[in-house]
Chains A and B, each alone.
Chain A
Amino acid sequence: MTDITALSEEQILEKLLGGNEIVFEQVFNKYHSSMQSVAYAIAGPIIADEVVQEAWVSALKALPKFEGRSSLKSWLIRIVANEAKTRRRKENRSVSLEAIQDSWSTDPRFSENSQWKNPSSQWHGDTPEELLSAEELKNCIEKSMLKLPENQLAALRLRDSGGLSMDELCNILEVSSSNVRVLLHRARDKVLKVIDHFQITGEC
């Protein structure tokens, strides 16, 4: 049986265009949840499934035109993000993605003169694989990501998971570039805190 992890993106594409349903199912399973979390963050949980379905259909139609200038994953994320943005506008979702809920100004890790008061600890491991060898940490991070404000989650997924450019993030999230930077920093900082806490206590 074909296993897509052993194939290059070109080979995967060739099989997809050749109507290989087994390969398609694996591609679906591999990328669906990334796409879902983007739709979820940008368009909201209620219509997320619909948005992802629409995005898959658009992607399948456009597949013969896919030129491999970005990875398949980035390409799919871009499609779902734009679909989600369009839907968000149509539904007139009142929650602004520009809003930044922030406790950064009073973050207890820093002293009043903005020096470190409680810096992070030394971690055991300096690759994702080493860190995630603790299965529990993986769950902790995933849980904490789902608790992020939706604009932070969206920024994080688009950038760190989808590899989209900063300009694309501004465009999709409809926020200024300085706010995109703030969203990304707060989201990554949250993940950092979860990892740090786990390194110290072994718990979420």
Chain B
Amino acid sequence: MLPNCKQMAELASKNLDTPLTGMAWLKRKIHMLMCKHCSRYSDQIKLSSKTVSTLDLDLPINEDVKKNVEKTYQELHCRKDVSQ
């Protein structure tokens, strides 16, 4: 039995993380050859995942956090023997 379209949608995402092999791979391949919707969905889920990886959420930077972290950086990594 081939997977149905709804199962195919989940497989499209699964395949990005752990590529299917053997019969599971073949069944998915056959379904995609016959079904342009699933073939398109599979490309689109991959593209969505790639797009997300390029995006950063625009959360506001807490200025206190930034100051504290910079202070820690100076203490740990900026040599004090260098004349300023």
User: A residues near B, CB below 8 A?
Assistant: 16-19, 21, 24-25, 28-29, 32-34, 36-37, 40, 49, 52-53, 56-57, 60-61, 63, 107, 110, 113-116, 119-120, 122-123, 126-128, 131-132, 138, 141-142, 145-146, 156, 159-161, 163, 166, 181-182, 184-185, 188-189, 191-192, 195-196
Contact = CB atoms under 8 A, between A and B. Distances in A.
Interface in B1-28: 4-7, 9-10, 13-14, 17-18
Range class of the B interface residue count: 35 or more
A101 B59 CA distance: 24
B16 to A, nearest CB: 8
Interface in B34-84: 35, 37-38, 40-41, 43-45, 47-59, 61-62, 64-66, 68-70, 72-74, 76-79, 82
The 10 closest A-B pairs by CB, nearest first: A19-B78, A185-B13, A119-B37, A114-B6, A114-B4, A128-B51, A116-B37, A192-B48, A191-B48, A56-B69
A187 B58 CA distance: 18
B63 to A, nearest CB: 10
